[in-house]
Amino acid sequence: MKKYRIYGVGNALVDIDFETSMETIQKLNIDKGVMTLVDANKHLQLLEDLSGIKHVMACGGSAANTVMAVNQLGSKTFLSCKVSNDSHGNFYYEELIRNGVHTNLEKDNRQHGTTGSCLVLVTPDADRTMNTHLGISETLSHNELREEAIKETEYLYVEGYLASSPTGCEAAVIALKHARKNGVKTAISLSDPNMIAYCKAGLLEMLNGGIDLLFCNEEEAKLFCQTDDMNEVCESLKKYTRTFAITQGAKGSLVFDGEQFFDVGATDVPVVDTVGAGDMFAGGFIYALTQGYGYESAGIIGGITASKIVTKYGPRLNNEEINEVKANIEQFLEG
C-alpha cells in the first residue's frame, strides 16, 4: 500500500473570506464570480477598502483544500507549495502541520517575500468572487517537488491555477511526468473559467499525454471544449482524460468512469458560500476511489463532502462538521 492517498501541487494562499454585498462588488469594480489575479498594490488597496467587514481566514488554495479534505476524511496526504517567512507563511505552515498534512515546507528554511493571499468576497447569492495575489507562490517550481513522496502516493492532484505561472506550469508538468513514470494515477482540476480564458495553453501543456481523472464545473467544461452541447463536451473531454467528473451545482454532477456515465444528484442544503465546494468535491471523490469505491459512489461521496462546506463561510470544516460528513458517508454506504 502507498504511503499517501493524494499528493497535491498548488498555490499556497491564505484565504480571507468576506461576507459582502452586490453593491460592494460593484463599488470595487471587480469581476463577479471568477478568480482575478491582482498585483501587490491592488491587493493592499482591496484590503483597505474591505477593512471592518466580517471575515474568516484559512490555509487555502485549490489543491490545498482538496488535500485537506482527504486528510480530514482520514487518509495520509502530502502538499507541495511555497510560502515565505512572513506571518502568513507561518500561519500556513503551522495549520498544515497541526492537521497532519506532510509537506515540502520547512519552518526555518523559507525565503523572504510575501506569502500568497486570496480575498474571497461572498455575496448573498452564495457566489464567490476571488482576487488573488500570488506573492511568492508565483515562483513555485520543480524545486518544491518531492519525487520520492510522489512515488509513494496513489493520486497526484494538480490544480489548474498553476497554468498562470510559467514555473508553476513547468512544476505541474514535471510532477505529472514523475507520476506517470512511477505508475501513480494523475488528476487535474480546470479550477476557474479565467484559467481557460487566459491560460488555456498552460492547461493543454499539463494535459498533454493524457491524465486519469479531470475535475471541472459545467461552465469550465463548456468553455474549455468551446461548446454549450454537453454531449459534445463529454466527447471532447475524452481526448484528454480517461475519466472525469463535472460538477453542476444544484443539479449534482456528471461522472464518467471510462465506460459509462452517471448522473449523480445533489444533496439539498441551504447554500451560504460556494468557496471550496469544487475542491471539497474532488477531495471526497478521490478519497472514495482510494477506498475502493466505484465512480458513482465517489460522485455521491464527493457531493456529500461538498454539501457541507457550502452551508458555512470559508473553505475548511471543523471537527464537528467533518464528523457529520463522515457519518453521512457511512449512512450512504450502509444504505
Q: What is the largest CA-CA distance in the chain?
A: 53
- Residue span of the structural domain in which 240 resides: 4-11+61-112+140-334
Residue 151 within any structural domain of the chain = yes
Neighbours of 18 (CB within 10 A): 19
Residue 19 within any structural domain of the chain = no
What stretches of 57-158 show up as alpha helix (H) in DSSP? Answer: 62-72, 87-98, 147-151
Residue 28 within any structural domain of the chain = no
Interhelix angle 230-237/218-225, nearest 10 degrees: 70
pLDDT band at 66 (very low <50, low <70, confident <90, very high): very high
**Which residue, 185, 175, 125, is CA-closest to 2?**
185
Please give the average per-residue pLDDT across 269-281, as a whole number.
87
pLDDT tens for each residue of 137-184: 999 999 999 999 999 999 999 999 999 999 999 999 999 999 999 999
Q: Considering its fold, how many domains does the chain have in total?
A: 1
Whether the model pTM is above 0.85: yes
Q: How wide is the angle at C-alpha 234 spanned by C-alphas 190 and 176, nearest 5°?
A: 40
Residue 245 within any structural domain of the chain = yes
Residue 105 within any structural domain of the chain = yes
pLDDT tens for each residue of 202-234: 999 999 999 999 999 999 999 999 999 999 999
Which residues face 217 on adjacent strands? 247
Check: CB of residue 65 under 8 Å from CB of residue 279.
yes
d(CA 58, CA 155) in angstroms, rounded, equals 24
Above 90 in pLDDT, residue 298? yes
- Rounded to an integer, what is the distance from CA 183 to the centroid of its chain? 23
- What SS3 state is found at 105? coil
Instruction: Report the pLDDT value the prediction gives residue 7, as an integer from 0 to 100.
Output: 98
Contacts of 77 (CB under 8 A, 6+ apart): 4, 5, 6, 7, 8, 67, 68, 70, 71, 101, 102
Residue 25 within any structural domain of the chain = no
d(CA 105, CA 332) in angstroms, rounded, equals 37
d(CA 183, CA 33) in angstroms, rounded, equals 37
Q: Which three cell numbers mark 191?
A: 479550477
pLDDT tens for each residue of 281-294: 999 999 999 999 99
Q: How many residues comprise the chain?
A: 335
Instruction: Report the pLDDT value the prediction gives residue 107, as an integer from 0 to 100.
Output: 76
Residue 222 within any structural domain of the chain = yes
Q: Which residue has the cell 501587490?
A: 40
d(CA 128, CA 130) in angstroms, rounded, equals 6
Please give the average per-residue pLDDT across 67-83, as a whole number.
97
Question: What CATH number did the domain enclosing 94 receive?
Answer: 3.40.1190.20
Q: Which residue has the higher pLDDT, 310 or 154?
A: 154
**Which residue, 271, 246, 273, is CA-closest to 257?**
246
Residue 125 within any structural domain of the chain = no
